[in-house]
């Protein structure tokens, strides 16, 4: 599924599926485990920050976040309940096509990408008492 996405969307290099709390669920074959877990943590943080902005301004659910860097893009899209799809693409990619192909994957398999909250984790950020 993820390698197929990279084949269809020109300029893409890596793809992962992650839980919104940062656990790696799947990765494309060219990405080693350590890099995939690091990307999972980054994508989870980005998705969480976007959610905070959405809540602050009453903007609804997060669909997708895109970070543009000098040499690459990072796409993070909601993919099922409690899961995200993240893709790294080069700066020459067709952003619209990458977003479209990500959405096609999510439409086909998003219902299977559910990641319920871990039982030992709170569903909302904990307050730190001082």
Report pLDDT for 109. Answer: 83
pLDDT at 125 over 60: no
Domains in the chain, CATH or no CATH each:
2-112 (3.30.450.30)
CA distances from residue 88 to 20, 45, 59, 117 in whole angstroms, order as listed: 17, 15, 26, 25
pLDDT digits (tens, 9 = 90+) for 67-93: 999 999 999 999 988 999 999 999 999
Reported pTM: 0.86
Torsion of CA 62, 128, 115, 16, to 10 degrees: 70
pLDDT digits (tens, 9 = 90+) for 34-54: 999 999 999 999 999 999 999
Strand partners, 18: 24, 84
The chain-wide mean pLDDT, for the chain, equals 90
pLDDT at 58 over 80: yes
Report pLDDT for 113. Answer: 72
Q: Between these two residues, 32 and 121, which has the higher pLDDT value?
A: 32
């Amino acid at each position: 599924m993820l390698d197929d996405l990279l084949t269809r969307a020109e300029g893409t290099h890596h793809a992962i599926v992650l839980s919104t709390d940062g656990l790696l669920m799947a990765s494309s074959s060219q990405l080693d485990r350590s890099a995939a877990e690091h990307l999972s943590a980054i994508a989870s943080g980005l998705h969480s920050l976007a959610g905070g902005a959405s809540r602050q301004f009453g903007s609804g659910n997060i669909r997708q976040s895109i970070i543009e860097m000098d040499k690459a893009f990072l796409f993070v899209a909601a993919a099922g309940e409690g899961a995200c799809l993240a893709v790294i693409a080069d700066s020459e990619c067709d952003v619209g096509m990458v977003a479209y192909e990500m959405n096609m994957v999510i439409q086909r398999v998003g219902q299977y990408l559910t990641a319920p909250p871990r039982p030992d984790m709170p569903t909302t950020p904990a307050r730190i008492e001082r």
